[in-house]
Amino acid sequence: MMLLQRERLEVSHGKRFCQKKGNKLKVTKTNKSLLLFGMVAHTVADIFAHSVWEPFYIRGINGGVYTLNDMYKKFIMQLEETTMRSKRIITIMALVLCFSFVLVSTDVTAKVKGGTWKNMKWSYNTKTKLLKVWGNGYMDYVGDLGAAAGWVRYTKTYDATKLVISGNVKSVGYLCFIDYLKVKEVILPKGIKKISGQAFENCQKLKIITLPYGLKKIKDGAFAMTGIEKLVIPGSVKKLEKWSLANIPDLKELILENGVRELGDSFVDSDNRLRKLRLPKSLKKIDGYAFLHCGIKKLTIPINVEEIGFRAFSSMDNIKTVKIKSTKVKKWGKKLFFSYEPHKIKVIVPKSKYKEYKKIILKNAGNKKVKVVKAKKF
């Protein structure tokens, strides 16, 4: 049979399977076993390609006929080309899948911003809305915007919903988180010693905060205008300073743990929704105006109180009953129950101190509607 020249066939890849003898190409002995497989595979390939293949001969462009060896060579070339194309397709598909997975699993819009401010470091994640502050020592006050903390100057932090302060931070600085309107939860480090004035003022959505034991000072307006509904003050806070817990409009329950010794001037001023207030046995002194404008209805003064200051219970519009359990009160302030709109208030005192306390209270009540009664049992 006539054969096409090697150049016309363009099957250079066939060298690895065929050898040339004279004008003919012959399948090598070691590769004859692949011939049957090649024929079957090529037939299947043509079926998928919707083409018709003549299994025994191929007509050349010059009218010649290819031998079976020639067909096998051409098939090998086509198979290898198809394999290369398949590999490229598979590689591209794999890359597309990987890229899709990255898009699904990663928010490309998320951004983490951070920096250093004095002895503090901070970071903010725009996706999780988490603001983190950590460092060593006492956090400074914010001051003017030009000298403000880095997280304050990066205004996107005002969208934070959670604040975590960690490390060896000893205090929350003055004004450091004022007006963070969207913060709902604050986590403080165990070693915190001080919460400065107006530190969290106007964090209107703040509901969750735990004050760790070891905290010593809470300064004026620290939680003013927050959304806190329940607050537990650890016994390590010996004195609640002036206005320390004032103006918390949603505060309903306040628990002072054993160890607190003094209630400062107006410490719960204007907490109008306060309904549950538990004072500890360790309490010894109640400063003047301590419960000014407090919304509590019933109040119990514990057994170790020794001093009650000027107008301590004044302008408590909802107060109905005050129980004084202590038999140790030596100092009484004047106008204890003064109000511009006086109403009936019942003061219950220990049986053993009834006469003494009744005389002092009525003299210093500043409210003619106050009635002193003897306790049956405390």
pLDDT at 310: 98
| pLDDT score, position 47 | 44
Is the pLDDT assigned to residue 58 strictly greater than 70? Answer: no
Nearest to 281 by CA among 378, 140, 358, 196: 378
Residue 83: its H or E element: helix 68-105
The pLDDT value recorded for residue 96 is 55
pLDDT of residue 87 exceeding 70, the answer is: no
Detail the DSSP E strand segments found in 271-369.
276-278, 285-286, 298-301, 307-308, 321-324, 331-332, 345-349
Kind and range of the H or E run holding 26: strand 24-27
Residue 200 pLDDT > 70 = yes
Neighbours of 228 (CB within 10 A): 21
Mean pLDDT (the chain) is: 82
Q: How confident is the model at residue 82 (pLDDT cuts 50, 70, 90)?
A: low
Q: Note the pLDDT tens digit of each residue in 252-302.
A: 999 999 999 999 999 999 999 999 999 999 999 999 999 999 999 999 999
- Rounded distance, CA 221 to CA 207, Å? 16
DSSP 317-334: TT--EEEE--S---EE-S
Measured CA to CA, the distance from residue 324 to residue 231 in angstroms comes to: 24
Helix (H, G, I), strand (E, B) or coil at 339: coil
Query: Where is average pLDDT lowest: 105-109, 157-161, 358-362?
Result: 105-109
- The token duo for 374 is 């003897």
The average pLDDT across 206-235 equals 97
Question: Which percentage of the chain shows pLDDT scores above 90?
Answer: 66
Indicate the pairing of strand 112-117 with strand 24-27. unpaired
Structure-block tokens of residue 73 = 């060579």
Mean pLDDT along residues 126-141: 94
Residues 163, 187: contact at Cβ < 8 Å?
A: yes
**Distance between CA 71 and CA 303 in Å, rounded?**
109
CA gap 345, 320 in Å, rounded: 5
Q: CB 110: neighbour CB atoms within 10 A? A: 10
- Least confidently predicted of 74-83, 101-110, 198-207: 101-110
Q: 39 versus 220: which is more confidently predicted? A: 220
pLDDT of residue 119: 93
Give percent of the chain with pLDDT exceeding 70: 69
Long-range contacts of 201-208 (CB under 8 A, 24+ apart): 201/175, 201/225, 201/226, 202/178, 202/226, 203/177, 203/178, 203/179, 203/227, 205/161, 205/181, 206/180, 208/184
Amino acid at 189: P
Other beta carbons less than 10 A from residue 262's beta carbon: 18
The pLDDT of residue 50 is 42
Cα 173 to Cα 139: distance, rounded to the nearest angstrom:
5
